[in-house]
Amino acid sequence: MDMPALPLTRDLVLIGGGHAHALVLRMWGMKPLPGVRLTVINPLPTAAYSGMLPGHVAGHYPRAALQLDLVRLARHAGARLILGRAEGIDRARRQVIVPGRAPVAYDIASIDTGITGEMPQIPGFAEHVTPAKPLDAFADAWEVFATTAAPGARIAVVGGGVAGVELALAFKHRRPDAAVTVYEAGPEALALLGPGARGRLRAHCARLGVRIEENARVTEARAGALLLEGGRVEPADFILGTGATRPADWLPQTGLALHEGFVTVSPFLQSSDPAIFAAGDIAHLAHAPRPKAGVYAVREAPVLFENLRAAAMGRPGALRLYHPQRDYLKLISTGDKRAVADKWRLPLDGKWLWRWKDRIDRRFMEKVHDLPAMPAPALPPEIAEGVAEALGPKPLCGGCGAKMGRAALADVLAAQPRAIRGDVLSEPGDDAAVLAHGDVRQVFTTDHMRAFIEDPWLFARLAAIHALGDIWAMGGAPQAALAQVTLPRMTEELAARTLAEILDAAGTVFRAAGADLVGGHTSLGAELSLGFSVTGLAAAPVGIDGARPGDALILTKPLGTGVILAAEMLKAAPGDVVAGALAAMDRPLAADAAILAPLAHAMTDVTGFGLAGHLINLCEASGTAAEIELSAVPLLPGAEALAAQGHHSSLLPQNIAALAGRIFAPESPRAELLYDPQTAGGLLAALPADQAATAISALAAQGIQAVRIGRITEGEPFLNVL
């Protein structure tokens, strides 16, 4: 007998996507701890690796080469990734505060948020100086400048430490025409290096034309200039600040013991609160203070991983000690694929050091990029005929990719009896039931889906938006909703936390739509799934049966959620592509419907059967055909590339088979996306051609990038893709 799925009993929350946490996620995927629900909170789906930043600035690495993909790492670890910025910890309630969503509960937490550039209290600094940290924002600003600045641009680096000089050399290599100057307030730049390494770096600056000014204290930053002590004005088209750094400004409110704003940790990487750990630049090693350097974060990761596991198991005696090395090898690039080394004040110099540094950096990135595939559970030795075929070659998708195929569903529904009540105006198979109440029409729909992301809060938002789609597609005003929630097996406390997140997220969506979430039903099962039954009111519901030849077809969201979510399950979708898909799904359709419903002859939302399937449904109901311009159909960034790589939703083959003989389309990855099942997709409206431009302009005024993709034509129900 198979062992039943073990219940979840502890919430472990990683705050920040720094180097140590990235490695913890990798190790967790290799050795998960049953019973722990792992969460990572970070503002972006990726985090920049600091070791390769100077090489990227110099033009040696593309941006993608230095990005830690937290989406892939989270999927590998079985963790939920919350794309948000933590701004507080309520230790009494054991909650992490993330603006814009419900608090995230924890039993054990770890902080690895990195540090940001400290903007000195100098007039104009915040407005006119780009700090070197956070790295992503700096890299974005530099790329714009490096590719657009006029020849002879002037670059100023404020701060003559190792970071400032290394980046100045990288600037000069990328833009040899630029005048690059480093301004150091003290008497000596590179003061923390040994004299040999310091001399060699200064020699490289002289060789490449990077000027260093010492005793050059900046007193004001202006648009296009720096003002130095003594009144001298130095022109500057790009100003980089590499001085002091600072931790997050919300840490003092946590009540944790801090040292100069950084979280004080014990040799176990434990803060003054035993339930909270910290690592990387944000941590102050009280027992062995060290400078802020990525090498310590990398070496802390295995100890942090073991200690988080021990804390989750309730074994404080199993915590490991972290012993930082006394010194570390500093490999400082010089922009032109050379490097200078400094350790124990013994300098080394040359191209071979760059190659060594490059190998070290690439090895680290390979470790977090090349995630080992965890083997799927083996089938029993004896199984019924057809089991392997029914499982298929890929995991079952969530969301609308997990629904029953169009053809099989249509066959079953065709056998159902017609309505027996006169006030039921719809037939089996319609997206929503239409009920008559005097002169008012009530629209009634239901939707249910298995989770496709690990975050219950975001999943609930998307499920609510998806369920409301049928109401909006019929031009209805949402009225009330009931929830059906199936939670995976977990303790009563974790179940209450999860349900609170779900109701908070869904309730926010329904209230914004003008509806009340009035109740529902909960149960425990094998996995998280969620559904909503929703009612709405419509004076004259917009159906799918009113399209007329000549009508324009307008689509209000790009396609591609199915293929992106399917690839994400296999750790194959880039993090920013997944984040883009989630953001598209997270946009409700209320404004779309308010503009289109008064004009539309027919309208539907694009969901599980894909654009092609839902358009054929509309044509069948209206007795028309349709044609669309494939090049006009909007796609989510990355969707076509993933389709070209062979990724697709588990529902895609049924969607294609269901339309055999009903569609003419070229064979291409882009055409394949016409069948892609959408979750929380857009509206597809057929409206008079002479009103299409006005509707698109009105939608654009609301920030909705709707597109005219084709038209309704005469003939038997058929879709011609041009």
Q: How far is the C-alpha of 383 from the C-alpha of 60, rounded, in Å?
A: 54
How many residues appear in the chain?
Answer: 722
Consecutive H or E run containing 697? helix 692-701
Is 619 catalytic? The answer is no
Consecutive H or E run containing 349? strand 346-350
The answer to whether 47 and 20 have CB atoms below 8 angstroms apart is no
Taking the chain, what is the end-to-end CA distance rounded to the nearest angstrom? 55
Q: What single-letter DSSP state applies at residue 586?
A: T
If we measure between CA atoms, which residue out of 73, 79, 84, 10 comes closest to residue 41? 84
The answer to whether 605 and 526 have CB atoms below 8 angstroms apart is no
φ and ψ at 505, to 5 degrees? -65, -50
Q: How far is the C-alpha of 561 from the C-alpha of 678, rounded, in Å?
A: 5
Q: How far is the C-alpha of 216 from the C-alpha of 229, rounded, in Å?
A: 7
Q: What single-letter DSSP state applies at residue 122?
A: -
Strands (DSSP E) along 454-577, which ranges?
477-488, 516-525, 529-538, 552-555
φ and ψ at 496, to 5 degrees? -65, -40
The answer to whether 501 and 442 have CB atoms below 8 angstroms apart is no
Tell me the two tokens of residue 241: 């600040």
Q: How far is the C-alpha of 41 from the C-alpha of 33, rounded, in Å?
A: 19
If we measure between CA atoms, which residue out of 245, 235, 293, 297 comes closest to residue 110? 297
Q: Which of 205, 397, 400, 619 is catalytic?
A: 400
Return the SS3 of 702.
coil
- Residue 390 CA: distances (Å) to CA of 380, 384, 422, 577: 15, 11, 41, 30
Q: How far is the C-alpha of 115 from the C-alpha of 645, rounded, in Å?
A: 38
Return the SS3 of 569.
helix
Q: How far is the C-alpha of 23 from the C-alpha of 301, rounded, in Å?
A: 6
Consecutive H or E run containing 68? strand 67-69
Single-letter code of the amino acid located at 558: P
Q: How far is the C-alpha of 476 from the C-alpha of 267, rounded, in Å?
A: 61
For 287-333, the three-class secondary structure string (H helix, E strand, C coil) is CCCCCCCHHHHHHHHHHHHHHHHHHHCCCHHHCCCCCCCCCCCEEEE
The answer to whether 456 and 576 have CB atoms below 8 angstroms apart is no
Q: How far is the C-alpha of 18 from the C-alpha of 279, rounded, in Å?
A: 9
Question: From the CB of residue 276, how many other CB atoms can be counted at a distance below 10 Å?
Answer: 23
Tell me the two tokens of residue 651: 């529902």
Q: Number of helices (H) and strands (E) in the chain: give both, helices first.
A: 21, 38
Tell me the two tokens of residue 91: 């230790």
- Locate tokens 């059967």: which residue? 609
- Rounded to the nearest angstrom, the gap between the alpha carbon of residue 286 and the centroid of all alpha carbons in its chain is 35
Consecutive H or E run containing 684? strand 683-687
Q: How far is the C-alpha of 584 from the C-alpha of 42, rounded, in Å?
A: 19
Q: How far is the C-alpha of 172 from the C-alpha of 616, rounded, in Å?
A: 58
The answer to whether 14 and 40 have CB atoms below 8 angstroms apart is yes
Catalytic machinery residues:
400
